[in-house]
């Protein structure tokens, strides 16, 4: 930092310093200015305005002539073709001629001797426009394009009128040029004489100013250079120096103090700008991160993946220690907490699957309109989790909030966010991200529902043949890999055709549905039931050998036989064939063995369970 320089004991004002330096040359300058002013006055009052007006008149006359030529060319084309598009340049030319004539009136206002020629020119223009051009246009519009002879006669007549216009135009332009040349000569003569006089006075002024220059350089220029260097340092970003000067000029000393103050103020503002820039960078990085997270949400149609990414992203963006996702089940008017890390998260899309049929009484379900979660779903707006404290001014939504996920006017779910003790949620940019998340979540949910329906039998709700084939391959591969048992039971409803014929097809469908329900109730959680085709069902039993599988389906057979007391002839019974996967891990062989055992059960009288190991080989 530069040390301040002690100012001189005696100071003067900048005005006085400059007056001392320049007074010797001021007289000469004033004299030269007086001469120059007199000349300028003569030129400005007398010659120059006249020259300007004559130049404008020449330009206007030339513009009017060019416009008339364009009119003539366009009109000849229109008369020859009848094409209305040629009238556009013609009409534009008419407007340009009128504008140029107006400029001529203004420019020739002081040139009275040229007005008669101008009036003659406008008369020739009017004769061509009104006497020939306009009638020719109307005639073609009314009668169409005439013969070549008629066109030739019309064009010759127009050329005659136009030639008269050109003669008047040439005379006017020639007179304007003549007067312009004469005025220009007078202008340069006066200007030359005045220049010589000014040069003589200027030589005297140079001598006087040379002395004053050295004085100004010492008292003004050198200090100003110091100030300039200081300003350049500031421009380069060096805001650390202070400025002082030894000049006796008070204004320069004050300017030095002002530059020092400005430097300090700029340093403070630069620091503020740096802080703001860092904040903008942080917000920009955060926004880019939000966009990246939004794109990640659209990468998968898996409800588990999308929900997990959504919850994780909301936790990251908001700083929440706990985020929960509640899915809205519109048919039941409840919201169900969905855990993407739960065992059934990949397939549970229905409230009944998540919390059972009594969803409104479950701990993980709330009714719409009840509590902060339910109210957020009903009103479609964020609700503080602790509404009593928020209403009393003791809490803020940033401590805990339920935010609805809305698509259009439909609430598809609610996110609850809770901040850590003593902290607040960062809800900036969260609304846009949750809107994107709602779209991704709805897409994943709908995809899951469609995928699930494509693998379910519409009548029984069991897995269909497509699902069975996929699960069979998976279970066989797993059993073979880990050398674990796998059993398959093929189930056939006895005399199902007679049931349909006797009790009706509607009652037959009910029987098939009821039997499917009993199958689901009797098998274990690890077992899976399918509708194999028609009245045939099947059950895959992992970790089960043939004997244990036979016990399970035997219980099922007895329960079915006891559950349809109304069916007397025929009765509702089952025939079941059970087989276990062999050492060859052949799924086709497993199906064949189970089918063989089923055939043996039917052959032996139906309403029984047969094991493949006990069934005779055909």
Q: The domain at 303-454 falls in which architecture?
A: 2-Layer Sandwich (3.30)
| pLDDT for 373 beyond 80 | yes
| pLDDT for 36 beyond 80 | no
| pLDDT for 377 beyond 50 | yes
Share of the chain above pLDDT 70, in %: 81
442-473 burial, b at 16+ Cβ within 10 Å, e below that, comes to bbbbebbeeebeebbbeebebbbeebbeebbe
122-149 burial, b at 16+ Cβ within 10 Å, e below that, comes to bebbebbbeebbeebbeebeeeeeeeee
Q: Under a CB-based contact definition with an 8 Å cutoff, are residues 61 and 118 in contact? A: no
| pLDDT for 524 beyond 60 | yes
| pLDDT for 392 beyond 50 | no
The pLDDT value recorded for residue 159 is 83
Window from 2-16, 183-197, 414-428 with minimum mean pLDDT: 2-16
Tokens 């008419």, residue? Answer: 94
3-class SS string, 9-60:
CCCECHHHHHHHHHHHHHHHHHHHHHHHHHHHHHHHHHHHHHHHHHHHHHHH
The pLDDT value recorded for residue 307 is 78
Sheet with 574-580, strands from edge to edge, namely 528-533, 536-542, 486-493, 574-580, 608-611
Q: How confident is the model at residue 350 (pLDDT cuts 50, 70, 90)?
A: very low
Say which CATH class 465-611 falls into.
alpha beta
Share of the chain above pLDDT 90, in %: 23
Sort strands 383-384 and 322-329 into parallel, antiparallel or unpaired. unpaired
Cα–Cα distances in angstroms (integers) from residue 270 to residues 85, 235, 262, 331, 520, in the given order: 63, 12, 12, 60, 74
| pLDDT for 289 beyond 70 | no
Q: How far apart are CA 431 and CA 267, in angstroms?
A: 38
The most confident of 156-170, 330-344, 381-395, by mean pLDDT: 156-170
Q: How far apart are CA 13 and CA 22, in angstroms?
A: 14
Structure tokens at 212: 């004053």
Tens-place pLDDT, residues 122-134: 888 888 888 888 8
Tens-place pLDDT, residues 527-536: 999 999 889 9
Q: DSSP assignment, residue 219?
A: I
Average pLDDT, the chain: 79
Tens-place pLDDT, residues 55-96: 777 888 888 888 888 888 888 888 778 788 888 888 887 888
The pLDDT value recorded for residue 474 is 94
Q: How far apart are CA 303 and CA 338, in angstroms?
A: 10
The pLDDT value recorded for residue 419 is 83
Q: How far apart are CA 502 and CA 479, in angstroms?
A: 43
Q: How confident is the model at residue 476 (pLDDT cuts 50, 70, 90)?
A: very high
For the annotated catalytic residues, the residue numbers are 535
3-class SS string, 430-479:
HHHHHHHHHHHHHHHHHHHHHHHHHCECCCCCCECHHHHHHHHHHHHHHH
Q: How confident is the model at residue 348 (pLDDT cuts 50, 70, 90)?
A: very low
Give the residues across from 536 on adjacent strands: 492, 533
As a whole number, mean pLDDT of residues 185-200 equals: 77
| pLDDT for 328 beyond 70 | yes
Q: How far apart are CA 383 and CA 375, in angstroms?
A: 7
Query: For the chain, what are the domain ranges?
Result: 14-231, 303-454, 465-611
What is the value of pTM for the model shown? 0.42
Q: How far apart are CA 607 and CA 598, in angstroms?
A: 11
Q: Under a CB-based contact definition with an 8 Å cutoff, are residues 314 and 417 in contact? A: yes
SS3 category, 153: helix
| pLDDT for 266 beyond 70 | yes
Structure tokens at 344: 């059934």
Task: Give which of 69, 67, 70, 75 is closest to 135, Cα–Cα.
Answer: 75
The pLDDT value recorded for residue 354 is 41
Q: How far apart are CA 163 and CA 556, in angstroms?
A: 118
């Amino acid at each position: 930092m530069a040390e301040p320089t002690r100012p001189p004991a005696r100071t003067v004002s900048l005005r006085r310093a400059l007056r001392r330096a320049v007074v010797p040359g001021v007289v000469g300058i004033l004299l030269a200015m007086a001469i120059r002013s007199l000349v300028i006055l003569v030129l400005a009052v007398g010659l120059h305005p006249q020259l300007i007006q004559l130049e404008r008149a020449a330009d206007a006359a030339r513009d009017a002539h060019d416009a008339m030529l364009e009119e003539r060319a366009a009109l000849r084309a229109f008369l020859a073709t009848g094409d209305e598009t040629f009238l556009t340049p013609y009409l534009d030319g008419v407007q340009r001629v009128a504008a140029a004539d107006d400029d001529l009136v203004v420019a020739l206002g002081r040139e009275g001797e040229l007005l008669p020629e101008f009036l003659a020119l406008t008369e020739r223009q009017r004769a061509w426009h009104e006497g020939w051009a306009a009638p020719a246009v109307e005639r073609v519009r009314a009668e169409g394009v005439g013969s070549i002879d008629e066109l030739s006669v019309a064009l010759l007549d127009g050329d005659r009128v136009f030639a008269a216009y050109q003669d008047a135009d040439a005379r006017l332009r020639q007179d304007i040029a003549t007067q312009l040349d004469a005025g220009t000569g007078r202008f340069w003569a006066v200007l030359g004489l005045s220049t010589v006089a000014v040069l003589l006075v200027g030589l005297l002024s140079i001598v006087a100013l040379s002395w004053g220059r050295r004085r100004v350089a010492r008292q003004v220029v050198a200090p100003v250079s110091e100030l300039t260097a200081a300003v350049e340092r500031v421009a380069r970003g060096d805001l650390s120096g202070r400025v002082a000067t030894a000049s006796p000029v008070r204004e320069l000393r004050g300017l030095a103090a002002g530059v020092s103050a400005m430097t300090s103020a700029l340093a403070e503002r630069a620091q503020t700008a740096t802080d703001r820039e860092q904040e903008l960078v942080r917000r920009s990085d955060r926004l880019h991160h939000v966009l990246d997270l939004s794109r990640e949400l659209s990468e998968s149609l898996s409800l588990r993946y999308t929900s997990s990414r959504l919850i994780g992203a909301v936790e990251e963006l908001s700083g929440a220690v706990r985020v929960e996702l509640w899915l809205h089940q519109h048919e039941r008017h409840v919201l169900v907490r969905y855990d993407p890390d739960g065992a059934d998260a990949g397939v549970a899309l229905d409230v009944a699957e998540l919390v059972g049929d009594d969803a409104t009484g479950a701990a993980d379900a709330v009714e719409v309109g009840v509590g902060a979660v339910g109210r957020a779903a009903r009103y479609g707006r964020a609700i503080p989790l602790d509404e009593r404290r928020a209403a009393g001014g003791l809490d803020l939504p940033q401590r805990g909030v339920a935010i609805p996920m809305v698509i259009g006017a439909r609430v598809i779910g609610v996110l609850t966010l809770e901040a850590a003790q003593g902290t607040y949620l960062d809800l900036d940019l969260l609304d846009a991200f949750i809107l994107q998340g709602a779209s991704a979540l709805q897409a994943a949910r709908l995809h899951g529902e469609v995928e699930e329906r494509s693998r379910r039998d519409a009548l029984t709700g069991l897995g269909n043949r497509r699902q069975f084939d996929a699960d069979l391959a998976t279970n066989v591969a797993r059993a073979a890999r880990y050398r674990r048992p796998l059993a398959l039971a093929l189930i056939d409803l006895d005399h199902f055709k007679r049931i349909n014929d006797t009790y009706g097809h509607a009652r037959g469908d009910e029987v098939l549905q009821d039997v499917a329900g009993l199958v689901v109730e009797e098998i274990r959680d690890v077992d899976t039931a399918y509708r194999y085709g028609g009245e045939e069902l099947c059950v895959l039993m992992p970790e089960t050998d043939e004997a244990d599988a036979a016990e399970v389906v035997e219980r099922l057979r007895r329960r079915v036989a006891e559950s349809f007391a109304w069916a007397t002839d025929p009765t509702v019974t089952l025939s079941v064939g059970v087989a276990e996967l062999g050492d060859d891990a052949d799924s086709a062989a497993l199906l064949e063995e189970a089918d063989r055992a089923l055939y043996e059960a039917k052959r032996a009288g139906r309403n029984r369970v047969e094991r493949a190991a006990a069934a005779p080989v055909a």
